[in-house]
Chains A and B, each alone.
Chain A
Amino acid sequence: MKGWHVRDIIFVTILAIFMGTIFFVTGPLYTVLAAALAPAGLQPLANELLLGIWVMAGPLAGFIIRIPGSATLGEFLGAVVEMFFGGIWGASTLISGALQGIGSELGFALTGYKHYGWFTLALSSLTTAIVTFGWDMIKNGYASYHLGFMALLFVVRLLSIFFFGGVLTKLIANLLVRAHVLPSAAH
């Protein structure tokens, strides 16, 4: 199995900063969405809808670098970047970043870092959604929502993560395979 070298470390960090930068471009979108949904008491939905973009660095790093720990590191570094450059959530960003990373890492770990295809990405999306939702139940009091609304939040979150962390990641990987940057996904 490959180990970490300075080149991979720099790559993950640059990728994390890129993802952070792209996310900042969508910052206003989140604010507008949150503000529009807030009066109806649906503000968390804005969070759920866009969470997929947030957690994309994890599966992307995991899929490209293929070293155990890369998904976690990619996502965690994204959080570090956010904390130092403009983010306001501070310590909780780091904790959520680490948890999101571990969540998507689980998907890759469960398939033994051997299969890089749809199944792994779908699994990774599911584990990310479960881990992050568990954390929000504790941290943001999601546990005290009515069951129906909680289910709605979870489903929206899962779909968002699957779209950005699953479908979009696979499409990007396909492009990279065509450019011969990644080995062809035969397995």
Chain B
Amino acid sequence: MNPTLKLALVLIIALEISFTQVWTVNVALLVVCFILMIAYRVKLKRLLWLTLVPLFFATALVWSLSLQGSASSHFLIVIFTRMFVYVYMGGVFTQTTEPLMLTRSLEQNAKLPSKFAYGFLAAFNLLPKIRTEVATIRAAALMRGQVLHVWSPQLYFKVILVAMNWSDQLASAMASHGFVEGAPRTHAVTVPLPKWNWWVCGMSLVAVQLGLFWGLP
């Protein structure tokens, strides 16, 4: 399915279930997401992780709400299942979507300006380098007997200087490779947006609306 459309669908449903309190729809969404993840061969380890983590947080939140608050049991069930829906829907989305395809699709199908699309991509590809850099900064400080914590301004100071440096270099590199902001572009890879995608998206939304406003518990 087209990444932009998929993202829009996931976001709309997530917003809707946040504002409504129908646990049956939550459970139905859970089942659908679970089947989709199985169908797309999501690894068992990942699936377990996606189940155990929300299980802990949902249980802790519900426990806390019932100790410190005055929520009805219906509302507690809604909150509990809602958390799983967020995680499972997110799981279906991230496990079936490549960041690269999403950015391409956002540029081509959602008309995101190309400077944003390529700017993001340039930075995302630095991810491994960024991880190493954080470790390097900490190690370099340790050698001078300084421990950099999450609350140390020096850590962020150094990180910001590196970020400025790299973004300068990357921007010049892109310019020297012929990237011109706002210039019309052709695409080596086109992301298709077939008609059936719109049907799937529309039908899913109709189904969710029916479920939410039919009067189900």
A residues at B contact (CB < 8 Å) = 4-11, 13-15, 17-18, 21-23, 25-26, 34-35, 38, 40-44, 53, 60, 64, 77, 81, 83-85, 87-95, 138-141, 144-146, 149, 163-164, 168, 171-172, 174-176, 179, 181
B residues at A contact (CB < 8 Å) = 10-11, 13-15, 18-19, 49-50, 53-54, 56-57, 59-61, 63-71, 75-76, 78-79, 82, 86-91, 93-94, 99, 115-116, 118-120, 122-124, 126-127, 130-131, 133-134, 150-151, 153-157, 159-164, 166-168, 170-171, 174-175, 179, 181
- In angstroms, Cα B123 to Cα A81, docked, is 11
Chain B min CB distance to A71 (Å): 15
Q: Verify B68–A145 contact, CB threshold 8 A.
A: yes
Q: Verify B87–A88 contact, CB threshold 8 A.
A: yes
- In angstroms, Cα B69 to Cα A84, docked, is 34
Chain A min CB distance to B202 (Å): 19
- In angstroms, Cα B151 to Cα A171, docked, is 10
Q: Which listed residue, B70, B86, B179, touches A146 by the CB 8 Å rule?
A: B70
Residues of A within 8 A of B167 (CB): 7-8, 10-11, 14
B99's nearest neighbour on chain A, judged by CB, is: A84
Q: Which listed residue, B75, B76, B156, B181, touches A168 by the CB 8 Å rule?
A: B156
Q: Verify B118–A6 contact, CB threshold 8 A.
A: yes
Q: Verify A144–B11 contact, CB threshold 8 A.
A: no
Residues of A within 8 A of B13 (CB): 91
Residues of B within 8 A of A172 (CB): 153, 156-157, 160
Chain B min CB distance to A80 (Å): 8
Q: Indicate the member of B54, B86, B174 with the most A CB atoms within 10 Å.
A: B86
Residues of A within 8 A of B150 (CB): 22-23, 25-26, 53
Q: Verify B61–A144 contact, CB threshold 8 A.
A: no
Q: Verify B171–A90 contact, CB threshold 8 A.
A: no
Q: A14-B167, A92-B90 are in contact. List 11 more A-B contacts (CB 8 A).
A: A5-B171, A6-B119, A17-B123, A22-B156, A38-B63, A41-B67, A88-B91, A90-B14, A90-B88, A141-B75, A141-B79
- In angstroms, Cα B169 to Cα A7, docked, is 9
Q: Verify B115–A5 contact, CB threshold 8 A.
A: yes
Q: Verify B14–A17 contact, CB threshold 8 A.
A: no
Q: Verify A141–B93 contact, CB threshold 8 A.
A: no
Q: Verify B153–A144 contact, CB threshold 8 A.
A: no
21 examples of A-B residue contacts, CB within 8 angstroms: A6-B119, A6-B181, A9-B115, A10-B167, A10-B171, A17-B124, A17-B127, A17-B130, A18-B133, A18-B162, A22-B134, A83-B90, A90-B14, A91-B86, A141-B65, A141-B75, A145-B65, A145-B69, A163-B151, A174-B153, A179-B157
Residues of B within 8 A of A53 (CB): 150
Q: Verify A90–B68 contact, CB threshold 8 A.
A: no
Residues of B within 8 A of A175 (CB): 153-154, 157
Q: Verify B61–A164 contact, CB threshold 8 A.
A: no
Check A9/B120 contact, CB under 8 A, given A91-B89, A168-B153.
yes
- In angstroms, Cα B19 to Cα A173, docked, is 38
A38's nearest neighbour on chain B, judged by CB, is: B60
A-B pairs, 8 with minimum CB distance:
A90-B90, A9-B119, A41-B67, A13-B123, A43-B60, A91-B14, A7-B171, A11-B167
Q: Verify A140–B79 contact, CB threshold 8 A.
A: yes
- In angstroms, Cα B15 to Cα A138, docked, is 10
B116's nearest neighbour on chain A, judged by CB, is: A9
Q: Which listed residue, A6, A64, A77, A171, touches B160 by the CB 8 Å rule?
A: A64
Chain B min CB distance to A148 (Å): 9
